[in-house]
Amino acid sequence: MRTHFNPSFDSPLMQRKTLVPLQWCVMLIGLSVPISVALDNVLMAVVLLGALFSLGSISRIAATQPVARAALMLFAILFLAMLYGATPLKEAVSTLGKYIDLMFVPIFIFLLADEAVRRKARHAFILAMLITLFMSYLVGLKILPIMSWMTVFAEPGNPVIFHSHITQNNMMAFAVFLALLEWRDATTLAKRIFWGAFAVLGIFNTLFMVQGRTGYLILLVLLGWFVWTSLARHMRKRGKSWGWKQGVSIVLVIIVGSFAAYQGSARLHDRVALVASDYQAWTPDHGKLTSTGQRLDFYSNTLQIVR
């Protein structure tokens, strides 16, 4: 009697055997993203390989979950856009590879379905950013010298540790937001002090120590969202209405606070003013010398393509 061996990569047994190890990989990604690109790539490769054993479940998420659908549709649009224009195919594929993380969205949704796993992954990321924040202050205060393993952008006047000032400030702004959420839900005084201190030190590091201007915008938006949701929740608990008047008040407070920070910090003032000067000096297709000019070239070229 002949038997046929038909391996099932999406069997419930294989899912159970691979689920916990893959969840640990995802939690470790939270720790590795702010620190090591090499380790991050290894963990992502392991997650991608392990996802083959749960392909059916992940496919259903990709088809039914709005965020997953949006991510995959965006990647599909980018793939089609790669075929348009005069850019050499090798260079276009290399650029598309920078957006491959969009393909991981349904995988992460599947692996992070458990709140306990999400919390551990979130805390792993915060731990990595806490290490980054601590060392950033040591470098900024000239207690710790610049070392060979640090990023090439590191200097006392721009105390970045593992990544460029753009990347560190982006992630620090998000870490501040997560810390504020933890502070809001803290049940003990010690936890509120810890999370509050982390948030305050992270805000100061983002605005006044590190030079990444994109982080300024991310921090501004996330702080506004945090204040909005916190006040709305507080008003609902008290049985009071929450409308556009309260929203306008929050926007005004954020604008006044941003203006005060802009006027009170010479570094913040100079970094923002540099955007204005770069904009005035920009001419179409000649913005490669500055980050602002490059972005303006992107916008200009995009409008031309659409037209």
Q: What is the dihedral of CA 162, 167, 168, 171, to 10 degrees?
A: -120
Within a domain: 189: yes
pLDDT in tens for each of the 307 residues of the chain?
A: 333 333 344 556 556 678 899 999 999 999 999 999 999 999 999 999 998 888 888 999 999 999 999 999 999 999 998 887 778 888 989 989 989 999 999 999 999 999 999 999 999 999 999 999 999 999 999 999 999 999 999 999 999 999 999 999 999 999 999 999 999 999 999 999 999 999 999 999 999 899 888 898 899 899 988 988 888 787 777 777 666 666 677 777 777 877 777 676 677 767 777 777 777 777 777 666 777 778 888 888 888 888 8
C-alpha span between 190 and 192 (Å, rounded): 5
| Burial bucket for residue 200 (CB in 10 Å: 0-12, 13-18, 19+) | middle
- Residue 216 CB partners (closer than 8 Å, separation 6+): 169, 173, 206, 207, 268, 271, 272
CB-based contact 193:174 (threshold 8 Å): no
HSE-CB of 158 using CA atoms within 13 angstroms: 18
284: which 2 tokens?
């179409």
The four Cα atoms 249, 253, 258, 261 give a dihedral, to 10 degrees, of: 170
> Do 184 and 233 form a contact (C-beta atoms < 8 A)?
no
Asked if residue 189 lies in contact with residue 202, where contact means CB atoms within 8 angstroms, the answer is no
Question: 105 with 188, same domain?
Answer: no
Helices (H), 51-185: 55-64, 66-82, 89-97, 105-111, 115-140, 165-185
Judgement on whether residues 106 and 121 belong to the same structural domain of the protein: no
Question: Residue 158: inside a domain, yes or no?
Answer: yes
| Integer-rounded Cα radius of gyration of the chain | 23
121 with 251, same domain: the answer is: yes
What are the φ and ψ backbone dihedral angles of 275, each rounded to 5 degrees?
-60, -45
CB 19 within 8 A of CB 111: yes
**Are residues 236 and 161 part of one domain?**
yes
Looking at the structure of the chain, the number of domains it has is 2
Instruction: For residue 138, count CB atoms less than 10 angstroms from its CB and return exposed for 0-12, middle for 13-18, buried for 19 or more.
Output: middle
Yes or no: say if 261 and 223 are a contact pair by the CB < 8 Å rule.
no
- Name the DSSP class of 207: I
Asked whether residue 79 falls in the same domain as residue 144, the answer is: no
**Does residue 296 fall inside a structural domain?**
no
- Say whether both 121 and 255 belong to one domain: yes
Spatial distance between the Cα atoms of 135 and 35, rounded to a whole number of angstroms: 12
Do 90 and 147 sit in the same domain of this protein?
no
Nearest to 42 by CA among 20, 25, 30, 59: 25
Determine the Cα–Cα distance for residues 181 and 178; give it in Å rounded to an integer.
5
Domain boundary among 57, 90, 113: 113
Q: What is the DSSP letter of 6?
A: -
What pLDDT is attached to residue 155?
Answer: 92
Give the whole-angstrom CA distance, residue 256 versus residue 260.
6
Range of the domain at 43: 7-113
